[in-house]
Amino acid sequence: MGLHPILHESWKEALYTEFSHPYMEELKAFLVEEKKKYTIFPQGSHIFNAFNSTPFDAVKVVILGQDPYHGTGQAHGLSFSVQHGVALPPSLQNIFKELVSDMGCPYPKSGDLSHWASEGVLLLNTLLTVRAGEPFSHKDRGWERFTDQVIRALSEQREHIVFILWGAPAGKKASLIDAHKHLILRAPHPSPLSSYRGFFGSQPFSRTNRYLTSMGIEPVAWCL
């Protein structure tokens, strides 16, 4: 389960110093051992799917999730997304309700958000792997440091990106982002526990497009 070969070249360039740090080798060794004993999601070829689907220079929007779905067949390396044909998790159902309300889109038939990724939406989780059936089982193993650096690199090396931060853990990442260069949209998490506390009606999709348009950037085609 190598960490180098399946990362898009544009990201290798933006993050080149990160791969020389010892924690990345430790993380790799941890994942090798985990895979011997447990089922790990997503499968190895999908771990860096977000980066391979949305090159560094193409990022217009970042939607930050926490850790991958831990059920069979769900996670495929894009935050909040599930593979085609898989039942929609509750948080994704609520995201789609807000999409319909905010943008007037038809309710999506699939939970695969690959189209958003191709539109320049980096669907990033703070942790990129998880044990089957054990949420947050790969916490504090190095992924947080790596994904924090992803956010920093985008903040420092790019401009006019919209960072969509849902829930308290994602909201804490605002400190990594230069708010003078980028737009930060914070709202409660779309999970059933918190969605009615301000997620519904937050209009993240239309607000994103208004900002991008105001900066002369092509808006995202959100409808799936």
**C-beta of residue 90 within 8 angstroms of C-beta of residue 192:** yes
* E strand or H helix that includes residue 51: helix 49-53
Cβ-proximal residues to 183 (8 Å cutoff; 6+ apart), any chain: 160, 161, 162, 163, 208, 211
Which of the following is catalytic: 57, 67, 148, 178? 67
Known catalytic membership, residue 67: yes
Tokens 């931060």 found at: 165
Distance linking the first and last C-alpha atoms of the chain: 32
Backbone φ/ψ region at 160: left (φ over 0), alpha (ψ -120 to 50), beta: left
Instruction: Give the active site residues.
Output: 67
